[in-house]
Amino acid sequence: MRHMKKMTLAGLASLMLLSTSASAVTVKAPHPGTVTALTYSSSGAFHGAVDVTSGDVCNSWSVHAVLVGSYSWNITINTTGIYCGTGGGSSTQNEAKHVFADGWTLRLWHFIKTAASYDKTCDRCALGNEGGTGNVTGPHSHIQVDKSGTKDTSWYSGYVTKGEYVDRTTTIGVL
């Protein structure tokens, strides 16, 4: 009886692993550039996200949706002009987000509004251009996963490193 119970539990555990891996979502780079921050910022403060910058030039790269597959994106635009590196505070932060059924939210911040900046469902489509909206020190894209104020950093652990060059084909992480 005890052996049967162990086998049943092992079988259930393997089914759980299969369903988890079958639903994995790949996150790709939003544009070519260098990873400048991960779990901690250069100041040593907790950051809990992946930052990618193409350099000191705003508006030169289209920011693409980072999830591979057809996902809905809710776009919030707080700007009317081009914010490049000076930010202007949180009232100017543009955001694209996708909320998963389990309540986790993937957020993409700091892009510049373009004609492509509207709510949509798409696979790796354009959402805006690389910019510096919100609280920033320079143009970049910020990719964050959170739920109820808690940031998840496990999804990108082991996929990219600070200082690494990435392009649109680079896997940033897996959810």
pLDDT digits (tens, 9 = 90+) for 89-136: 778 899 999 999 999 999 999 999 999 999 999 999 999 999 999 888
**Confidence (pTM):** 0.85
Q: Is the distance from CB of 110 to CB of 142 less than 8 angstroms?
A: yes
pLDDT at residue 23 in the model: 78
pLDDT-derived band at 1, boundaries 50, 70, 90: very low
- Non-local (6+) Cβ contacts of 26 within 8 A are 67, 68, 69, 171, 174
Domains, the chain, in order of start with CATH, read: 25-174 (2.70.70.10)
pLDDT at residue 9 in the model: 38
Q: Is the distance from CB of 6 to CB of 155 less than 8 angstroms?
A: no
